[in-house]
Chain A
Amino acid sequence: MVDYIKSFDIDFIKQHIPQYVDAAWLTLRIAFIGIALSLIIGLFCSLILHFKVPVIRHIVKGYIELSRNTPLLVQLFFLYFGLPKIGILLDSEHCAYIGLSFLGGSYMAESFRSGIEAIGKIQTESALSLGLSRFQVMLYIVLPQAFSVSLPSLCANVIFLIKETSVFSVVALADLMYVAKDLIGLYYNTDEALLMLVIAYIIILLPISIIAGILEKRLRHG
């Protein structure tokens, strides 16, 4: 074991850290934008389902089923290799944004929906009987409570989506996974490249897990 660790090429690691740092920033940027879009899409979809908006809710249901039951890899292939056939050309980064928010939107929608459903009817009725409009009831009464109910599953989605970004190397995006695969291909330093990959993901995800845990505790009252 000790010999194995000693066999690691420290200079190689030092030399390639900057590549990992760049890739980590790219991964984070894609994750941030993709997750922000996912949250917006998810909230919209859950509201459409909750208010049973005619016609549109069936489209939303179809989207959620499609998005949850196809692998992200397949969705990305469709965006990156399929769409150009009908004249829509997307670069890798835009593919990543769209792919991640397409996938994340449905997961966030389900989280929000379960949160909204957990809020008792009596809350809505007592707010309505005070003269609040349906929109105000949603905004001031249901969503704030639904949000704290949904928070654990929203956080789980965030971590899941960040991990999913590792798939984007297939559309030639220079994210963490891509850099590791690239280094392995160029130098055969498989152990060092993978070790750095694991460490990079832990550095990104561990703080997020911890922050999520703290948020959950703070938002829970009553």
Chain B
Amino acid sequence: MDNNILLKIDEITKFFGEHKVLNKASLTVEKGEIVVVLGPSGCGKSTLLRCINGLEDIQGGSISLDGNVITQKDTRWTEIRQKIGMVFQSYDLFPHMTVLQNILLAPLRVQHRKKQDIKEDALKLLERVGLLDKKASYPSELSGGQRQRVAIVRALIMNPEIMLFDEVTAALDPEMVHEVLDVMLDLAKAGMTMVIVTHEMQFAKAIADKIVFMDNGEIVEISKPDIFFNNPQTERSQRFLNKFNYTEKR
């Protein structure tokens, strides 16, 4: 086995009632690798992410993190989830807490770290995303882009091994998309392992080490970005890219 493999998704299958949303999906993510998942809406990309941190249960297959299978009945998700940071599409900050309280909650209550230490970390991270002056603000006082940057910091402070991004810019006004994507690019440079679900094609092309194309609950193609965008290997990915008008002619 390759020691570099951080996350291994092995033929997972997921049903919503009768409807099969994931069909034997397999994917490996290496340490430091940036995987971007593309595909039409409803193809199962968000569900795939949600299965990784146990927000959805699976009916077949397995997922391992660091070589340990995490999709078992007795999985202690509160421990696993500390290693998996997740940022959602909708603004999910806790509205009754300030930015700093939002960030400190989990390190204090879950990891039981010293408040002084994590506060320093939190302020450093806030500075890194350009929001140090917002530390005492409530989420309702922030723009959508600022909220998503705080949500990223809130996940980062747990020192996760991998970050999952579920269409984090989809609900943003166009002028705010950049500030969030910049933070993600910055993370990528720092070597963070990431799985990103997005509709931002340019961004996907720029950041990805590996593109995963999904359709109808299946992983149809896994390619390097330049191959995927210039010379898609399957008819379905070709059709998808045509819709986005993104097959570049050389």
Contact = CB atoms under 8 A, between A and B. Distances in A.
Which of A126, A131, A141, A148 has its CB near the most chain B CB atoms (within 10 A)? A131
A190 B189 CA distance: 85
Contact of A131 (B78, B96, B140): B78
A146 to B, nearest CB: 10
A5 interface: no
Interface in A100-136: 122-123, 125-133, 136
Contacts of B90: 122
24 contacts: A123-B92, A123-B94, A125-B55, A126-B92, A128-B55, A128-B77, A129-B81, A130-B81, A130-B155, A130-B158, A131-B79, A131-B82, A131-B111, A136-B109, A136-B110, A140-B105, A145-B95, A145-B96, A148-B96, A221-B96, A221-B138, A221-B140, A222-B95, A222-B140
Question: What is the predominant secondary structure among interface residues of chain A facing chain B?
Answer: helix
Contact of A132 (B86, B93, B109, B151): B109
B240 interface: no
A132 B158 CA distance: 12
A144 interface: yes
Which of B85, B95, B140 has its CB near the most chain A CB atoms (within 10 A)? B95
Give chain A's interface residue range (CB within 8 Å of chain B): 10 to 19
Interface in A141-166: 141, 144-145, 148
A130 B84 CA distance: 8
Interface string B63-92: 000000000000001110110111010101
A222 B110 CA distance: 26
B154 interface: yes
Q: Which 5 pairs between the two chains have the least Cβ-Cβ distance?
A: A126-B92, A222-B95, A222-B140, A130-B106, A131-B82
A148 B111 CA distance: 28
Contacts, number: 67
Interface of A: 122-123, 125-133, 136, 140-141, 144-145, 148, 221-222
A125 B93 CA distance: 11
Question: What is the predominant secondary structure among interface residues of chain B facing chain A?
Answer: mixed
A123 B22 CA distance: 25
A131 B105 CA distance: 10
A132 B86 CA distance: 13
A194 to B, nearest CB: 45
Contacts of B139: 222
A130 B53 CA distance: 10
A129 B78 contact: no
Contacts of B53: 129
B106 to A, nearest CB: 4
Given A128-B55, A130-B155, A131-B79, A141 B94 contact: yes
B154 A130 contact: yes
B55 A130 contact: no
Nearest to B164: A129
Given A125-B88, A131-B78, A131-B81, 4 more contacts: A131-B110, A131-B111, A132-B106, A141-B94
A62 to B, nearest CB: 30
B78 A133 contact: yes
A133 B140 CA distance: 26
Nearest to B92: A126
Nearest to B111: A131
Contacts of B138: 221-222
Contacts of A133: 78
A82 to B, nearest CB: 45
A222 B96 contact: yes
A127 B102 CA distance: 10
